[in-house]
Amino acid sequence: MLSEYWPVIIFLAISVGLGTALLVIGGLLGPSKPSVEKSSPYECGFEPFADARMKFDVRFYLVAILFIVFDLEIAFFIPWAVVMEDVGLTAFAAVVIFTLELAIGLAYLWKKGALEWE
Amino acid sequence: MLIQEIIFYAFSIIMIVAATLVISVRNPVYSVLYLILTFFSAAALWILLGAEFLAIILVLVYVGAVMVLFLFVLMMLNVDLSRVNEGFVKNLPLGLLVAAIMLAEILVVLWYKGRTGIEDFPIPEPLSADYSNTAEIGQRLFTQYLWPFELAGIVLLVAIVAAIALTMRKREGVKTQSIPKQVQADKRDRVKLIDMPVEGVEDK
């Protein structure tokens, strides 16, 4: 089974190697004359207005949490789909109930207007 | 086998170094990034163990989604970098206490299961060529562990409700589009025709 991961390992090795090589060669061969102005933070040429760490609206968090919940729902479906013919009707009923549980959640958040952005 | 060992040690070393950096770098955003590296190395180790489904779920759910939540929290809290390491000495005893309790809990479980020596953790058997971790999980999850599976659904439902209860707030005075109202609009409600005498023209 692990031999199927050879392309992944080769891909990882090449990407890490290429990334390191580009950085190292660039650092060694490129001219480096830093000055105060060059190494100061800038924003499209002008002075930065404010801290880059601006506060987010909490609604992004809500969207992210809802994404994770339904992401996990899909993740639970995958093993079921693989062994669907072996585990039979009981498992099918269980998955239907599981889906209904989350459908209640979906109906609730829809009714609450959590999907609206205003 | 040798190549597997090289890969195992490489990812293990990366994981330990990254995990140490998570708790030692000053900038919390860098901490989260090192945590991502730790998870990623753990996923690689799981693949070496043959747990490919869990490894991919770890990358998708934790690296892809949970870490985004971590970054959101960092951004929302507006962490003051100069104050991050304040109170390190003051909170050190409490932190050590919590760490000791957690270590004790792990050791109690291992002791209870009678797995105290290194010989109780043998090198796993090489897996057969047609071994499928996903199918194995499916078999167990949908026969032996049906109740925990349903409970997981309930927990996810609670997560939805809790997230909405904590973060939903209605903003007043926002003009939103109501599609049913638009569809139901009739020309008789919009335009009113009124009979009135025409001005400036003589009646015949």
Decide if pLDDT at A95 tops 80: yes
Cross-chain Cβ contact A53/B168 below 8 Å: no
Cross-chain Cβ contact A105/B161 below 8 Å: yes
Is residue B184 a part of any domain in this protein? no
Is residue B64 a part of any domain in this protein? yes
Of A54, A62, A98, the CB nearest to B168: A62
Average pLDDT in chain A: 85
Of B7, B65, B129, the CB nearest to A71: B65
Domain A2-112 has CATH 3.40.190.10: no
Is residue B171 a part of any domain in this protein? no
Domain that holds residue B136: 132-165
**Chain A residue with minimum CA distance to B171:** A118
Burial classification of residue B25, based on how many CB atoms lie within 10 Å of its CB (0-12 exposed, 13-18 middle, 19 or more buried): middle
Contacts of B50 (CB under 8 A, 6+ apart): A1, A2, B124, B127, B131, B133
Is residue B190 a part of any domain in this protein? no
Q: Would you say B40 and B59 are in contact if contact means Cβ atoms under 8 Å apart?
A: yes
Is residue B85 a part of any domain in this protein? no
Long-range CB pairs of B139-144, under 8 A, 24+ apart, other chains included:
B139/A83, B139/A86, B139/A87, B141/A76, B141/A79, B141/A80, B142/A79, B142/A80, B142/A83, B142/A87, B142/A90, B142/A91, B142/A94, B142/A95, B143/A87, B143/A90, B143/A91
Identify which of B164, B28, B160, B84 has the alpha carbon closest to the alpha carbon of residue A58: B164
Q: What kind and span of H or E run contains A47?
A: none
Reported as a pLDDT band with limits 50, 70 and 90, residue B97 is: very high
Instruction: Quote the tokens at residue B26.
Output: 């000053």
Domain count, chain B: 2
Contacts of B171 in chain A (CB under 8 A): 118
Cross-chain Cβ contact B76/A54 below 8 Å: no
Boundaries of every domain in chain A = 2-112
Residue to mutate among A8, A63, A69, A92, with most B CBs inside 10 A, is A69
Long-range CB pairs of B7-10, under 8 A, 24+ apart, other chains included:
B7/A9, B7/B44, B7/B48, B8/B45, B8/B48
Give mean pLDDT, residues B60-75.
Answer: 86
How far apart CA B120 and CA B118 sit, in angstroms, is 5
User: What SS3 state is found at B133?
Assistant: helix
Q: Would you say B133 and A78 are in contact if contact means Cβ atoms under 8 Å apart?
A: no
| Per-residue model confidence as pLDDT tens digits over A37-77 | 788 777 676 666 666 666 667 778 888 888 899 999 999 99
Is residue B188 a part of any domain in this protein? no
How far apart CA B8 and CA B14 sit, in angstroms, is 10
Is residue B113 a part of any domain in this protein? no
Contacts of B62 in chain A (CB under 8 A): none
Contacts of A7 in chain B (CB under 8 A): none
Identify which of A115, A111, A113 has the alpha carbon closest to the alpha carbon of residue A70: A115
pLDDT of residue B80: 65
Q: Would you say A44 and B131 are in contact if contact means Cβ atoms under 8 Å apart?
A: no
Contacts of B149 in chain A (CB under 8 A): 76, 94, 98
Contacts of A105 in chain B (CB under 8 A): 156-157, 160-161
The ipTM (two decimal places) reads 0.75
- Here the CATH number for the domain that contains residue B29 is 1.20.120.1200
Give mean pLDDT, residues A21-49.
Answer: 82
Give mean pLDDT, residues B191-204.
Answer: 76
What percent of chain A clears pLDDT 70, i.e. is strictly above it? 87
Burial B93-113 (b: 16+ CB within 10 A, else e): eeeeeeeeeeeeeeeeeeeee
How far apart CA B98 and CA B95 sit, in angstroms, is 5
